[in-house]
A and B are shown apart, each in its own frame.
Chain A
Amino acid sequence: MRKPVIIGVGLTPVGEHWRLGLRDLAAEALLNAMEDAGVDKVDSLYVGNMASGSFIEQENLGALIADWAGLGNIPAVKVEAACASGGAAVQEGVKAVMTGLEDVVAVVGVEKMTDVWPSDATRYLAYAADAEWELFHGVSFVALNALIMRRYMKEYGYTEEDLALFAVNAHANGAKNPYAMFKKRIKVESVMKSPYVADPLKLFDASPIADGAAAVIITTEEKAKEFVDNAKMVEVAGMGRAIDTINLANREDLLILKAAKVAAERAYKMAGISVNDIDFFEVHDAFTIMAALSLESIGVAERGKGAMLAKEGQIAVDGNYPIQTLGGLKARGHPVGATGVYQTVEAVWQLRGEAPNQVANAEIGLTQNIGGTGSNITVNILRRV
């Protein structure tokens, strides 16, 4: 297998892009990434997107975006794994390069969420759950996470304030990211004062609905030299992906993200590292509870101790386990199908040493992207070349 490296990244700010449509956002991110990589054409395009059919009545995103960005008659497809679509699209791009089928691959993650009524957005997001046995009952995605959150607090004795610390950390980091939706620090009290969306989960426990696109250019280590210096190269050293029951009620254990555990183990093995070698973690904090569970499931914290890391201040950029270094889903924003690619872009910044909120001497970073309530999870390990 060939060694895959990322040589270019591009993105749009995350936010409410009233004047830009999905194709505009995707093309902008894509062209930025190509410029960053110094390439003027790619062999193929993988699009990470969750729900364009529902949000903007548009499928066939491969054709739409490749055409709009002027990439010519290349192969281009959409990769869908709910909110993990971005992470999965990166993996598909990497696979294409590793197997030798394609030399220079573009991956773009994009979601346009603000063109629908809020209650419809809530509905479309819930399409990632089990339509027949969950959504049928009027459940929202927030509600599903609230069910986990309440059980987590009960089982381990945490309070809503404890979990709020994840949001506080995300905002502290997002404040330094020019591309973040919320560039504002918040306090635990602000989280506590925000209204319940699905008790005990509050508005500020949740990541915002947003528009955005992010892109990366992947090639082989050999080929990369034609375009960029070593300093710009970041290796995709490990990948893992796994599913779990789509229906939350069918899980053996409500408080373990089994898919994350399996995916992380695979990724660590492929990269030849252990969790202790990782310098920072971009985990999927769509809700504060998911940050806690993710840290436990990928082996950073023991079972029931994820929220303790936040209480102990270990998740800050200068802590032992920095997470959400550029705001995470909570502060950077969560344009669902794009999120996994945003995480990848941010990890590349950290490993190049050019992040606006730099983790000192970062060598290895992890991105973890969750689809559904943990039913489809990707873990990628990125390493400085």
Chain B
Amino acid sequence: MGRPMQVSRYWRHFKEKYRLIGGKCKNCGHVHFPKRPVCPECGGKDIEDFQFSGKGKVVSWTIVRNPPSGYEYYKPYPIALVELEEGPVVLAQLTDVDPEEIDFGMEVEMVTRKVREFEEDGIILYGYKFRPPIK
């Protein structure tokens, strides 16, 4: 499924992607995802890691039927904008859900799943996705 780039490119974001870690401005307390060098709210430059709870609601969604190369085996798959309970919106795949079940405001929780694999001999990339809560 496409040759991988040098692994460093993916490796440097493992933690943020496995765990859904973003940024929190030490000056104004604004939380955002992904973590940025400059606070989008107050312009502060002192940003610390922020662990999101992983709970959120679907703002919008689509079903990808013609994926970019590298994702063909997974099609069709849902992608959504999810508003996290702490405020920020993230884009991610939905998983363990039928397209017909998805709706505006649907509650979801973060899980860590395989996002992409590179051929038989390449690395496997894992990252956050969202699914309807278990309970």
Please say whether the chains A and B touch (CB closer than 8 A): yes
A interface residues, Cβ below 8 angstroms from B? 117-120, 122-123, 126, 132-140, 142-143, 146-148, 150-151, 154, 195-201, 247-250, 254
List, sorted by A's number, 29 A–B pairs whose CB atoms are closer than 8 Å.
A119-B66, A123-B69, A126-B68, A137-B92, A137-B127, A138-B74, A138-B79, A138-B93, A138-B115, A139-B91, A140-B67, A143-B64, A147-B60, A147-B61, A147-B81, A150-B62, A151-B59, A151-B60, A151-B81, A195-B65, A196-B63, A197-B65, A197-B66, A198-B63, A247-B34, A248-B81, A248-B91, A249-B81, A250-B89
**Interface residues of B: mostly helix, strand, loop or mixed?**
strand
Cβ-closest chain A residue relative to B32: A250
Bound together, the chains give a CA A171 to CA B33 distance in angstroms of 40
Provide the residues of chain B in CB contact with A250, threshold 8 Å: 32, 40, 88-89
Bound together, the chains give a CA A247 to CA B89 distance in angstroms of 10
B99 sits at the interface (CB 8 A): yes
Provide the residues of chain B in CB contact with A148, threshold 8 Å: 60
B77 sits at the interface (CB 8 A): yes
Bound together, the chains give a CA A198 to CA B71 distance in angstroms of 14
Shortest distance between the CB of B38 and any CB in chain A (Å): 12
Bound together, the chains give a CA A142 to CA B75 distance in angstroms of 14
Q: Which of B79, B80, B91 has the most CB of A within 10 A?
A: B91
A133, A136, A147, A254: which contacts B62 (Cβ < 8 A)? Answer: A147
Q: Given A133-B91, A138-B93, 12 more contacts at CB 8 Å?
A: A136-B127, A137-B115, A138-B71, A138-B74, A138-B79, A142-B66, A147-B91, A148-B60, A154-B60, A199-B63, A199-B99, A249-B33
Bound together, the chains give a CA A123 to CA B67 distance in angstroms of 8
Task: Write out, one digit per residue, whether chain B residues 69-102 have a CB within 8 A of any chain A CB (1) or not (0).
Answer: 1111010010111000000111111000001000
Bound together, the chains give a CA A151 to CA B74 distance in angstroms of 25
Q: Are B68 and A140 in contact (CB under 8 A)?
A: yes
B131 sits at the interface (CB 8 A): no
Provide the residues of chain A in CB contact with B93, threshold 8 Å: 137-138
B116 sits at the interface (CB 8 A): yes
In the complex, which residues 1-24 of chain B have their Cβ closer than 8 Å to any Cβ of chain A?
Answer: 13, 17
Q: Are B116 and A138 in contact (CB under 8 A)?
A: yes
Bound together, the chains give a CA A248 to CA B82 distance in angstroms of 12
Shortest distance between the CB of B47 and any CB in chain A (Å): 14
Q: Are B81 and A254 in contact (CB under 8 A)?
A: yes
Shortest distance between the CB of A203 and any CB in chain B (Å): 9
Bound together, the chains give a CA A124 to CA B120 distance in angstroms of 23
Q: Are B69 and A117 in contact (CB under 8 A)?
A: yes
Q: Are B59 and A254 in contact (CB under 8 A)?
A: yes
